[in-house]
Amino acid sequence: MSTSYGILGRKQTTLTPSSHPPSSGVHGAIHWRGKGKFEIGGVKKTRSTLKHREGLFSSARIWQWSAQAYKVEYHRRRWTATSTSSGHPASAVFALRKASLFGSSRAASISFSGAISVEDMVFLTLVMIYSEIQRREKDDEAVDAIHTAAPHDILHSAPLLLHADVSLAAQLVQQRNVLDSDFPSSRSSLRIMPWPAPIHMIFDSANATRESEYYPAYNTLLSTLFPADDFFFVSPRPISTPPLEPSMVFVVLHRREPVFLLTVKSREALDNDSAREDADDAMRAIIREYRDVRSIPFLHAISALGTRFCEYRFDTASRRISPEAIPRELNTPNVAAPKTWWELDVFSPRGEQRLRDVATEVKAMCAAL
């Protein structure tokens, strides 16, 4: 598999098994420019003619190349394609790479049922690749430094493995060269050192729907930004006082003085207005708990929803918190904690740079004490 690029970005992704007769007709490609086309065995079809929504409020899509249509949807790090004309199990499953800090990592893989044609197998492989890249780009759409997004799970993984119950599958397995060059994650001009591998691994192993699984990940991240060699210490402290639900705040101490705060909720909270408002309320309440800090001019804080985060700053002189709270209007619907506040991602170039910049600012304030 390979992807070509031009001045305007991604041009074509090609799937070309190399050890089967050309007459098998399983060469496939995604043409990204213009209206976008899929190509299989020399036949090209416009993407808009190949898919449609399952329903007005459904995230699933119906994809169809030949006579058989497939319902394609994403759930918990898996893309599944299910035949719409039968009650059979999924015809294809694309499991994203899952790294594990304490056990064996799982490589990305695509598996097929035995009752699927060679043509549809190639088609669904292209659909899964296209869908995952689109999902990643949608997640990063607020980060303008991202020029070309791609699956983080594929970028840092072993080669993509293809499995099926037909002979072509064994031939496709040899296409084991889905490397960083196939799906560059960024064309950003920012030049920053990427997070160490253990940070990627521990975040990848976290269940995005459970807040507590992010605790060791953020504890590791903060310990990297604020090392003990510089007399910084990360202190996780439970929160259980009303109106806050039981949770955790990570307090970074310089010697014995609190200098940085971080709270975390699950990734699901990002798309829920009420959950974001609760996270905003919680962050402001926690900052007020530490309002007596006087040794530094500003107290920085981060509210993380999964890996997306919002930065807060408390001015110890004026006693003001930024961003300023948005009043809730009873008669006029409004969002008190806009999603755009959490536009940065821990693993985007801008997000990583901002976290490092904040850590540098905090260290500079502490050095002046």
Sign of CA dihedral 307, 309, 345, 59: positive
Nearest one of 20, 228, 259, 49 to 121, comparing CA atoms: 20
pLDDT on residue 313: 96
Residue 61 near residue 54, CB atoms below 8 Å: yes
Nearest one of 113, 109, 122, 120 to 16, comparing CA atoms: 122
Residue 76 has a CB neighbour count (10 Å cut-off) of: 9
236 pairs with which residues across the strands?
Answer: 250
Residue 106 near residue 148, CB atoms below 8 Å: no
Q: Which domains does the chain have, with CATH numbers?
A: 2-172 (no CATH), 197-367 (3.90.1570)
Cα distances (angstroms) measured from residue 119 to each of 83, 116, 176, 232: 15, 8, 20, 58
Q: What is the pTM of this model?
A: 0.52
Q: What is the pLDDT of residues 55-100, one digit of tens each?
A: 776 788 999 998 889 999 888 778 888 888 766 666 888 888 765 5
pLDDT on residue 190: 36
Phi, psi of 12 (to 5 degrees): -150, 135
Query: Any idea which residue has 């599958």 for tokens?
Result: 169
Nearest one of 102, 126, 110 to 39, comparing CA atoms: 126
DSSP class of 106 = B
Strand locations in the chain, DSSP E? 2-6, 9-15, 28-31, 37-40, 43-46, 51-53, 61-64, 69-75, 78-83, 92-95, 109-112, 161-163, 232-239, 247-254, 257-265, 298-305, 308-315, 320-322, 344-345
| Mean pLDDT over the full length of the chain | 78
Blockwise average pLDDT, block size 10, the chain, 369 residues: 76 70 64 89 91 80 90 85 74 75 65 80 91 76 40 37 37 33 35 73 85 93 95 89 68 94 93 91 92 89 96 94 85 77 93 94 91
Residue 246, preceding peptide bond in cis (omega within 30° of 0): no
pLDDT on residue 201: 87
Q: What is the pLDDT of residues 317-329, one digit of tens each?
A: 999 999 999 987 6
